[in-house]
Structure formats: C-alpha cells, structure tokens
Amino acid sequence: MEKILEVKDLEVSFQTYGGSVKAVRGVSFDLHKGETLAIVGESGSGKSVTSQTIMKLIPMPPGKITGGQILFNGDDIVPKTEKQMEKIRGKEISMIFQDPMTSLNPTMKIGTQIMEGLIKHQNMSKQAAKTRAVELLNLVGIPMPERRVNQYPHEFSGGMRQRAMIAIALAANPKLLIADEPTTALDVTIQAQILDLMKDLQSKMDTSIIFITHDLGVVANVADRVAVMYAGQIVEMGTVDEIFYDPRHPYTWGLLASMPSLDNDNKADLAAIPGTPPDLTNPPKGDAFAARNQYALAIDFEEEPPMYQISETHFAKTWLLHPDAPKVEPPEAVKKRMRQLSSTFDQAVLMKEGK
Amino acid sequence: MQISKDKFQLVGTKISEAEKISKPSLSFWKDVFIRFRKNKLAMFGLVLLAILIFMAIFGPYMTEYDYATNDLTNKNQEPSSEHWFGTDDLGRDVFARTWEGARISIFIGVAAALIDLFIGVLWGGISGYKGGRTDEMMMRFADVLYGVPYLLLVILLMVVLGQGLGTMILAMTITGWINMARIVRGQVLSLKSQEYVLAAKTLGANTSRIMAKHLIPNSMAPILVTMTLTIPNAIFTEAFLSFIGLGLTPPLASWGTMANDGLPAIRYYPWRLFFPAIFISLTIFAFNVVGDGLRDALDPRLRK
Amino acid sequence: MAKYIGKRLLYMLISLWLIITATFFFMRIAPGNPFTSEKQLPPEIEANLNAHYGLDKPWYAQYGDYLLKVVKWDFGPSFKYKSQTVNDLISEGFPVSFILGMEAILLAVAFGLILGIIAALKHNKWQDYTAMIIAVAGISVPSFIMATFLQYFLAIKMGIFPVARFETFMHTILPALALASTPMAFIARLTRSSMLEVMSNDYIKTAKAKGLSQGVITVKHAIRNALLPVVTYMGPLTAGILTGSFVIERIFGIPGLGAHFVTSITNRDYTVIMGVTVFYSIILLASILLVDIAYGIIDPRIKLAGGKKGE
Ligand SMILES: Nc1ncnc2c1ncn2[C@@H]1O[C@H](COP(=O)(O)OP(=O)(O)OP(=O)(O)O)[C@@H](O)[C@H]1O
Ligand code: SF4
Ligand SMILES: [Mg+2]
C-alpha cells in the first residue's frame, strides 16, 4: 500500500515562562492510503501537538519543531513556509477539532464557513461553492441543507455542528483527515452517529484518517492501527488486535484496564492509572512512566528503554521485553482477553538503542 | 549492550517521587513577584512611584520656600537656581507647590481607594455571603448607581455639597466602591462553596470570623489590582474637577488647581502649567503600569 | 429585534427618569438655589423662573410640572441671565460640541483600532510594545493636559495650528486630537486584548486549517469578532468625549455646550446645570441604546435570542 504520511523522530517543544516544555519527544509513525490510525493517551501526552504539527498549526512561537521530519507524499513539510502550507491545509490535510461549540466562527454563516475552503482551493465561484456547500451538508446528514447553510452556528446542535465541521474538513477532498477527539464533547448516541458518518465518508472518499482519542472503546470501532502515547512519546504501536489482545506495555495495560467494556461495565472495577504524568519541562531520567508503573524495574529509573519489535506491525518501548527482565503478569482485566496472535515473533527484537 | 542483571528486578511505583518532580511548587506570592519583576514597564513604574512618593514626603523640605507664601516682588519667575520650577503669579515657589500638590493628589487617590475598599468589601462581602434576596437587592442598587455617568454625578455632587477636600473624596467614592463590591462579591461567591469554608462553618466559626480569616485574604489579589487602578483615576478626577473650577480652595495647592491657575498664562509662563501637568501624568502613568503589571502577574491564566 | 429594542427603550426611560428626578432634588438642596425663599433675584429672572417652575407651588407640583416640561423638551430659563433659556444654550452650543465630538470619536476609533490590531498581530514584538506604551501614555495623560501640550507646542510655539476658537477645519484638529487621546488608548488596549482572545479561539485554528491566509483570517474571522467588546465601549466612549469636552472647549476657547456648562457651574447657574445635565443624560442614554442596537446587528447570536445572548 502507498504510504501517505511518514513521521520520523519528530520533536516539538514550547518555550514558556517556566522553561521549555518538550511536548513531543521523538515520535515516529507512518500512515497508508485509506488507513485509520488511532492515537490514544492521557491528557497532556502530546496527541494534539503531534497532530497539529503535521499541519504546522501549533503556535510558533512559543512552539518549535526541534527535530525530525514529516514526509507527506514523500515531501518534507517541516521546512515549508506559511504560504506553501496554505496550499496543503484544507486541500491535502484537514482537521476536525474536539469541541464543536468553539471551533466554528459564531458570527459567520455555516455556509460561508464551508465555502471559504472551496473558493480558496478549488477556485469555485461563490455560486458554485454555495451549491457544493448544500451538497456537503446533505452528505454529512444535515436535514434541510438549503436552509441550514444560511444559519449561524448557535442555531445548530452540538452534533450538527460537528457534522458541519466534518463538511468543512472534507470540502476539498483532502487525502488525510486528522480528527482530534471529534466525539469527546458529544453524548454517546451522537458519538456513534458521527463515527459511522466518518467511516462511511472514508470508504467513499478513500481518505486516510488520524483519529485522536482517549477513549479506547472508540478505537476498536474505527481504527486499523493504534499508537499509544505517553509523555510525548509513542510507547506502543500495533494493529487494533495487537493492542487489544496482546498489549505489551504496562501503560497500555493500564489504559485497557481502565476501559469500560461490555463484560466489564461496572465502573467501580475500573482501575485508573495512579499518579499524574511527568512535567515535560524536565522529563525524568529513565522511563517517563516508571514512577507510576507498578511493574517498574530498577533500570527504569536510570535509563530510557529502547523500542522492541514484537511483530511486523507491533512495537513497544519497555524494558520488560528485555531478555533479562522478569516475566510479569498484566492486570486481571487485561489478562482475560489476552490471546496468542499468529503474527507475533518468537522473541521481541531490539529496534535501536535508546529511542 | 550490557546491563547487569540486578537492574532488572521489580521495584514498582514511586508515585510520591513523581508528584515531587512534576510539581515544582513556588508559593503563590513568590511566583507573582517573579513575574512582576520580569515586567520591565511595571518595574519602571514602581521605581517612578517610589521616587514620586519620596519627593512628596521630602520635596517640600528641600527648598527654603514655603508653598503658600506670596512674594509679589518675584512674580512669574522662570525656573532658576533660586526657584527650581519658577514661581507663579503670586510669587509662590512652584517647586514647593508641586510637592505639596503631590501630597494632596496622592492623599486623595489613596483615601478614595481606601474608602472604596472599605465600602466595597463590606457591601460585596455581605451581599455575596448572605446571598438570596439580600444579595439581589444590594446588587440591583449597585447596578442602578453604576448606570449614572460618573463625572457628571461627581460634578453635580460638588455643586450641591460645596468645594473642599472632604466633599471631593466623598463625591468620588459615591460610585467608586461599586467595582470593588462586585469583585469582592464574585470572590466571596466562588470561595463560599469551597471546602475549607464549609469546614470552618461546621466547626462553628461565625460569619465575621470566616470572612476575616478565609475570604478576605483569598480575595487579596483582585482587590489589590483594583485599588492600584483606583488611585490614578481619583488623581485624574481631582485634577479634572480643579480644572473646571470645582477643586480645592486656596491656599491649598493641588496639581489640578496649579494647572488651572497656569492655563491663562500658558503663552508667557508655560512652566506654571507644565510642572503640575507633567507630574499628574507621570503619577497616573506610574500607578497604571504598576496596576497593569500586578494584574498580569496575578492572572492565573498565565500561570503555567 | 423589535422586542429587544422596546425592552432597552423602557430601561432607558426608567434610568432617565431617575436622573431627572435626582437632579431636580439635588438642585433643591444646593446652597443658594433658586428654590430657597431667601433669594434676591432681578425681577425679570424671578418672573422667568416663576413662569417655568411655579415657585409658589408645593414641591410635588413643581416636580410634576418640571417632568412634563422636560418631556416637551423645555428646559426652562437661566438662573443668571435674564434673556437666556437652557434651550437657547443647547441649540447654540451643541452643534459645535457635536462636530468636535464626532471628529474625536472618529479619530479615537480609527487610530485605536489600527493600533490595537497591529499590537495583537505583532504580539510580543516591538510593534506591540510600542503600541502599548503609546496606549498607557494616552491613558495616563489626561485630555486637558494633552490639550495644553498640543496647544503650546503645535500652535503657540510652532504655529502649525490656530491657537484657539472654532472657525475652520484646522481649528478643530488639535481639540479633537486632545479629546480623542484617552479613548483612543482605551480602544487600542481593548482591541488588542480582544484580538488576542479571539486569535486563541478554536475557530481561528479551524480557519487556519482550511488553508486561509493570515490576512484573510485576520480580516474575516478575527477582527469582526474582536470588534464586539469594542462596540460595547462606545457608550463609555461617548461619555468620555462628552465630559472631556468640558475642559477641552475651555482650553481652546470653543463656544460649545461643554464650555457653557462649565461657565454655568462657575456661576452657580443652577437651572442651566440642571437642564444641561438632563440633556447630556439623554445623549448618553441614546448613544448607549444605539450601541446596543449596533451590537445586535453585528452579533447574530443576539438577534434571535430576543435580548439575551444565545446559549
Ligand atoms: N501553546 C503551548 N504552550 C506551551 N505548552 C503547550 C502548548 N500547547 C501544548 N503544550 C503542552 O504540550 C503538552 C501536550 O499537550 P497536548 O495538547 O498535545 O496534549 P493532548 O495529548 O492532546 O491532551 P488532551 O487529551 O488533553 O487533548 C502539554 O504538556 C501541554 O501543556
Ligand atoms: S520501560 Fe520500565 S517503566 Fe517504562 S513501561 Fe517498561 S517497565 Fe515500565
Ligand atoms: Mg488534545
């Protein structure tokens, strides 16, 4: 399959009063055409910064890409100028944000907000753009689109606004759609509708999607592959099956154990991960997760673990995969669903040191 | 890669350490101080303010001339080594009058701010603490009063009450406290629901004790900012009133009256107007930038 | 929208009534006012006052008459000059003040917006610092001091502008500048913080993600929304220009209503003070109403919500 996006060793930091916040610390992943990659992780783990960096949407300054490459269709976008980025944003890569209440301009008609992208990228006339905007609203399932185009965001419900956001994002047929927690602010039934809509549109338009969420339940529904982020790094990445049925990283275990599911919907059982993420101004020595990790080894407090490969598609960054490490048992909730997957290597393979 | 085997023993979480690392805790005021110090304009304002206050206290003693003594043989003298800022139409020393004026202007500003504080804390505190109908009525009253154009009201009051230092401060504070009351009320409302107040309540502490012990110290930050910004406003109002002939009566020297006296002579004796004018502006400037600096330093949204 | 304006109009009338009532009673307690019995007035003035206020009637009758006359736009005679009424004064002085005030408002809004927008766009760069220092200076230097400086340096010393009076356009520039300086500074600061606030909003990110250029985003998305709080400042702005005109007109010898008002204060011409105060209040309240309506027009959320901000 054709690779559409390749992120290599991406590093992003923010210059603040308290020092420089290393929000993304060496992130690498790739994405194929038509594929959906989910990025999960706690609040503050750097999901939004990573994804916004792909469109160079982070505020610079204070933000700065301090290292790495972002190859979009083989073309590195890190050195691109704002002018060049304008041709990519909205046309090649689009984004949907978390909160539909605030991500639409309150004083501009919905129709106009959809038309802007069309006029810019497809050189459409106002009239044509308006016709297309009505079509798009229809496509994302908004009833009476002819009337709705002339309304303002406050006349839309939350779910409808998110549909409108999707219409805006898809207006110019982008090749990559980044959805940053698109359903978090919506209630459960609307969430499901929006997810269905996205899947449906993806199959029609063959876009690739990066789907950010902290809800693992959603991931199983929409994603092909999953990357788990912690403290600005990807700590485990694999196919949905690998992450759900054969997770290797204690942080993934923690996330899975804290996920409500059909057989485990009693909230009291959910084991939240204790403690809080580290301060990214001075990331701790060793593994960033060590202090919160009940399986932490002595070495975790001294040295950062390398990335190990568990199968063609499955990677994890933990010392537990070192041959000398003790065999530990994942938490009960995770163990219950562990399965032997056929693609797994006999032994975890060290990828490269220290990274 | 060789790592000794004993490094691979299980040691488990060290949450307490993680907490320590992730929260380098500076005390709130220390934090504020550091941020304030980084603000060059605010620091400049603070230094300027210190100089102005110093001169207000000691300035009148630096010259042998008295601010109120006429000397008709030395009318309208240019600034010189004798009369540093020159003299006015009655031969009074402008340097002495300027610092005497500084005392009055700063006094009016501080007095107005303190009275605003007193009424505002009382009104806003009671209103917020009692809540319900009392709150509703007290705040309605404040709203109505707030709707009246400020300077117009002050002018009317000065006309009705007659000129003088006391009536001027009274006229200024008649609506000035409303801002303070709103801020205090907002703070009280937000703090009221917080646990430590509830705890104090269940322990049987009475209302005034709770207010004094918990609510007021916690509202310090916004109150301080409001006060620093009230002072320049009061200084401005004094000068304005004096300038339209509703100010202090002679021989009292305020910057406003000095400027007012100097205006007709601007063509020939500009210093009589310029010295008070410059110092009014500098003082208002200093208080404004210090107030702004404080507000920015205290703004928790900037807190990272 | 009609309902909204109706409601605002009602509030406005209530405030106006309160102000009229308050001035009426204030004037009755002021020392040496025309309503006290031990007054020694020239007979013509006595007759004027009597005709207007009915001085022998009880106070509530006087109050009722007074209210009625204000409604009929009759503010009564002067307490000091026999052949002058407050209406004369207003029709003579207000047009001058109006021209000056409008010029000042235009200056304040135009330069304030420009300064504020530049500062926000160049946040934390030298343009921002410069604009903000100009703004703090504008706020710190009272308008009447600005006026004297401008007059002394630009008119008296350099002779670029006429020193005083109100005849040609050149005569209006310095007073309008002086009058505009403080509100301009406020507008600049307000615009800047409002722009910064708006620019940090998600919908700006959305606009950027669409591939719009910084210029288009600024003009079409940021400024319009940033203008909303600035529009609400127009009420206080009018008040500031109005009170500012008292001193500015005096300094530049402009025969406007502000100068007349100050003279009437110095003369303790109580009936003029009363009448002009009421007139000013009407102007202020009307401008606040206009601002509210303008706000309703730019913010679509208000139009349909019938007075309240939607959601
Ligand atoms: N403009 C900024 N200035 C300074 N720090 C920033 C900025 N934006 C993000 N950060 C920091 O970068 C880190 C990662 O933030 P990010 O928004 O990517 O988290 P996230 O994983 O998306 O979390 P959430 O689930 O809450 O959206 C955080 O520590 C945050 O404080
Ligand atoms: S490297 Fe160590 S601390 Fe990090 S996840 Fe693995 S076991 Fe835990
Ligand atoms: Mg995020």
* Residues in chain B within 8 Å Cβ distance of C30: 159-160
What is the mean pLDDT of the segment spanning C94-121?
A: 90
Among the bound ligands, the one closest to the CA of A52: 1
CA distance C169 to chain B (A): 23
Residues paired with residue A352 on neighbouring β-strands, in sequence order: A307
CB of A62 less than 8 A from some CB of C = no
Judged by average pLDDT, the poorest of A254-268, C3-17, C224-238 is A254-268
pLDDT, one tens digit per residue, over B149-206 is 778 888 888 888 888 888 888 888 888 888 888 888 887 787 776 666 666 666 666 6
What CATH code is carried by the domain that includes residue A272? 3.40.50.300
For residues A236 and A142, state if they share a domain: no
User: Which residue in the set A294, A299, A350 is minimally distant from B13, CB to CB?
Assistant: A294
DSSP string, A19-81: EEEEEEEEEEEEEETT-EEEEE--TTSSHHHHHHHHTT-S-TTTEEEEEEEEEETTEE-TT--
Q: Atom of ligand 1 at shortest distance to CA of A44? A: 19
Q: For residue A355, what pLDDT is reported?
A: 39
d(C-alpha B43, C-alpha B38), whole Å: 8
Q: For residue B302, what pLDDT is reported?
A: 44
Q: Which of C132, C265, C270, C276 to mutate to test binding with chain B, by most B CBs within 10 Å of its CB?
A: C265
Q: For residue A262, what pLDDT is reported?
A: 47
Q: What percent of chain B is modeled with pLDDT above 70?
A: 75
Structural domain range at position C168:
92-268
For residues A231 and A324, state if they share a domain: yes
Ramachandran angles phi, psi of C141, nearest 5°: -90, 110
Q: Atom of ligand 1 at shortest distance to CA of A47? A: 21
Band of the pLDDT at B209, cuts 50, 70, 90? low
Cα(A13) to ligand 1 centroid in Å equals 10
For residues A168 and A230, state if they share a domain: no
What is the mean pLDDT of the segment spanning A56-64?
A: 84
For residues A243 and A310, state if they share a domain: yes
Q: B18 and A276 in contact by Cβ < 8 A? A: yes
Q: Alpha-carbon dihedral of residues B247, B251, B253, B257, nearest 10 degrees?
A: 40
CA distance A17 to chain C (A): 14
Q: Which residue has the higher pLDDT, A94 or C288?
A: A94
Average pLDDT of the residues of chain B: 77
Q: C133 and B41 in contact by Cβ < 8 A? A: yes
User: Which residue in the set A89, A108, A154 is minimally distant from C208, CB to CB?
Assistant: A89
Band of the pLDDT at A227, cuts 50, 70, 90? very high
Q: Is residue A166 part of a domain?
A: yes
Listed in sequence order, the DSSP H helices in chain C are 2-29, 43-53, 59-71, 86-121, 126-140, 143-150, 169-199, 202-209, 214-216, 224-232, 234-251, 257-266, 270-298, 300-305
CB of C17 less than 8 A from some CB of A = no
CB of A108 less than 8 A from some CB of C = yes
Last residue of a domain, one of A172, A194, A210: A172
Q: Is residue A91 part of a domain?
A: no
CA distance B276 to chain C (A): 10
Last residue of a domain, one of A147, A172, A197: A172
CB of A155 less than 8 A from some CB of C = yes
CB of B15 less than 8 A from some CB of A = yes
For residues A263 and A330, state if they share a domain: yes
Among the bound ligands, the one closest to the CA of A25: 1
Q: For residue C106, what pLDDT is reported?
A: 92
Band of the pLDDT at C107, cuts 50, 70, 90? very high
Q: Is residue A259 part of a domain?
A: yes
pLDDT, one tens digit per residue, over C260-270 is 888 888 888 88
What is the mean pLDDT of the segment spanning B214-228?
A: 74
For residues A246 and A332, state if they share a domain: yes
Is there a contact between A301 and B43 (Cβ–Cβ < 8 Å)? no
* Residues in chain B within 8 Å Cβ distance of A319: 8
> Residues of A298-324 as b/e, b for ≥16 C-beta within 10 angstroms?
bbbbebbbbbbbbbeebbbbbbbbbee
> Residues of A74-105 as b/e, b for ≥16 C-beta within 10 angstroms?
eeebeebeeeebbebbbbbbbbbbbbbbbbbb
Q: A102 and C221 in contact by Cβ < 8 A? A: no
What is the mean pLDDT of the segment spanning C79-98?
A: 83
Query: ∠A242-A248-A254 over CA atoms, to 5°?
Result: 100
d(C-alpha C254, C-alpha B297), whole Å: 44
Q: Is residue A187 part of a domain?
A: no
Cα(A63) to ligand 1 centroid in Å equals 11
| ipTM score over 0.95, yes or no | no
Q: For residue C310, what pLDDT is reported?
A: 34
User: Which residue in the set A276, A284, A298 is minimally distant from B7, CB to CB?
Assistant: A298
Q: For residue C306, what pLDDT is reported?
A: 42
Q: Is residue C183 part of a domain?
A: yes
Q: For residue C53, what pLDDT is reported?
A: 67
Q: Is residue A132 part of a domain?
A: yes
Mutate to test the pocket of ligand 2, among A234, A295, A328, A353 (most ligand atoms within 8 A of CB): A295
Report the SS3 class of residue A137. helix
Band of the pLDDT at C151, cuts 50, 70, 90? confident
Q: Is residue A12 part of a domain?
A: no
What is the mean pLDDT of the segment spanning B111-140?
A: 86
CA distance C123 to chain B (A): 15
Q: How many CA atoms lie within 13 A of C124 on its CB side?
A: 5
Band of the pLDDT at B37, cuts 50, 70, 90? confident
pLDDT, one tens digit per residue, over C56-86 is 777 777 888 888 888 888 887 777 777 778 8
Q: For residue B134, what pLDDT is reported?
A: 85
Task: Of B95, C142, C224, B163, give the one whose Cα is nearest residue A106.
Answer: C224
Is there a contact between A179 and A38 (Cβ–Cβ < 8 Å)? no
Domain count, chain A: 2
Q: For residue C111, what pLDDT is reported?
A: 92
pLDDT, one tens digit per residue, over A143-179 is 888 888 888 888 888 888 888 888 888 887 888 989 8
Cα(B152) to ligand 1 centroid in Å equals 50
CB of A290 less than 8 A from some CB of B = yes
What CATH code is carried by the domain that includes residue C165? 1.10.3720.10
Is there a contact between A7 and A69 (Cβ–Cβ < 8 Å)? yes
A vs C, Cβ pairs < 8 A, gives 87
Q: Is residue C280 part of a domain?
A: no
Band of the pLDDT at C121, cuts 50, 70, 90? confident
* Residues in chain A within 8 Å Cβ distance of B296: none
Residues of chain C that touch chain B, judged by Cβ-Cβ distance less than 8 Å: 15, 18-19, 22-23, 26-27, 29-31, 133, 136-137, 139-142, 144-145, 148-149, 151-152, 156, 239, 242-243, 246-247, 250-251, 262, 265-266, 268, 270, 273, 277, 280-281, 284
Mutate to test the pocket of ligand 2, among A297, A307, A329, A355 (most ligand atoms within 8 A of CB): A297
Task: Of A280, A168, A289, A272, give the one whose Cα is nearest residue A214.
Answer: A272
Q: Which residue has the higher pLDDT, B210 or A188?
A: A188
Whole-model pTM? Answer: 0.79
Q: Which residue has the higher pLDDT, A57 or C302?
A: A57
Taking CA atoms, what residue in C is nearest to A150? C300
Judged by average pLDDT, the poorest of A250-264, A304-318, B287-301, C141-155 is A250-264
Average pLDDT of the residues of chain C: 81
Band of the pLDDT at B27, cuts 50, 70, 90? low
Cα(A290) to ligand 1 centroid in Å equals 21
Q: B288 and C139 in contact by Cβ < 8 A? A: yes
The one-letter code for the residue type at B85 is F
Q: For residue B115, what pLDDT is reported?
A: 92
d(C-alpha B281, C-alpha A241), whole Å: 71
d(C-alpha B274, C-alpha B266), whole Å: 9
Q: Which of B10, B39, B302 to mutate to test binding with chain A, by most A CBs within 10 Å of its CB?
A: B10
Judged by average pLDDT, the poorest of A16-20, A107-111, A169-173, C21-25 is A16-20
d(C-alpha A284, C-alpha C200), whole Å: 31
pLDDT, one tens digit per residue, over A96-131 is 888 877 888 888 888 888 888 888 888 888 888 888
Residues paired with residue A37 on neighbouring β-strands, in sequence order: A210, A225
Q: Is residue C13 part of a domain?
A: no
pLDDT, one tens digit per residue, over C199-210 is 888 888 888 888
DSSP string, B183-207: HHHHHHHHHHTSHHHHHHHHTT--H
Q: For residue A39, what pLDDT is reported?
A: 92
Question: CB under 6 Å to ligand 2: residues?
Answer: A 249-251, 287, 289-290, 293, 295-297, 300, 305, 318-320
Q: For residue B15, what pLDDT is reported?
A: 59
Q: Is residue A163 part of a domain?
A: yes
Residue A280 pLDDT > 60, yes or no?
A: yes
Domain count, chain C: 1
Band of the pLDDT at B47, cuts 50, 70, 90? very high
Taking CA atoms, what residue in B is nearest to A306? B1
Judged by average pLDDT, the poorest of A30-39, A266-275, B57-66 is A266-275
Task: Of C247, C255, C270, give the one whose Cα is nearest residue C90.
Answer: C255
Last residue of a domain, one of A134, A156, A172: A172
End-to-end CA, chain A: 27
Band of the pLDDT at B17, cuts 50, 70, 90? low
Cα(B226) to ligand 2 centroid in Å equals 51
* Tokens 């139009």, located at residue: C303
Q: How many CA atoms lie within 13 A of A350 on its CB side?
A: 11
Q: Is residue A290 part of a domain?
A: yes
Is there a contact between A57 and C207 (Cβ–Cβ < 8 Å)? no
Residues sharing a CB contact under 8 Å with residue C200, sequence separation 6 or more, in sequence order: none
Among the bound ligands, the one closest to the CA of A23: 1
Q: Which residue has the higher pLDDT, B55 or C188?
A: C188
CB of A25 less than 8 A from some CB of C = no
Band of the pLDDT at A311, cuts 50, 70, 90? confident
Mutate to test the pocket of ligand 2, among A308, A320, A350 (most ligand atoms within 8 A of CB): A320
The one-letter code for the residue type at C21 is T
Residue C37 pLDDT > 60, yes or no?
A: no
CB of C123 less than 8 A from some CB of A = no
Band of the pLDDT at C115, cuts 50, 70, 90? very high
DSSP class of residue B93 equals B
Band of the pLDDT at C309, cuts 50, 70, 90? very low
Cα(A290) to ligand 2 centroid in Å equals 6
Structural domain range at position A150:
101-172
Q: Atom of ligand 1 at shortest distance to CA of A49? A: 18
Q: Alpha-carbon dihedral of residues C275, C281, C282, C284, nearest 10 degrees?
A: 150
Q: For residue A260, what pLDDT is reported?
A: 67
Q: Is residue C305 part of a domain?
A: no
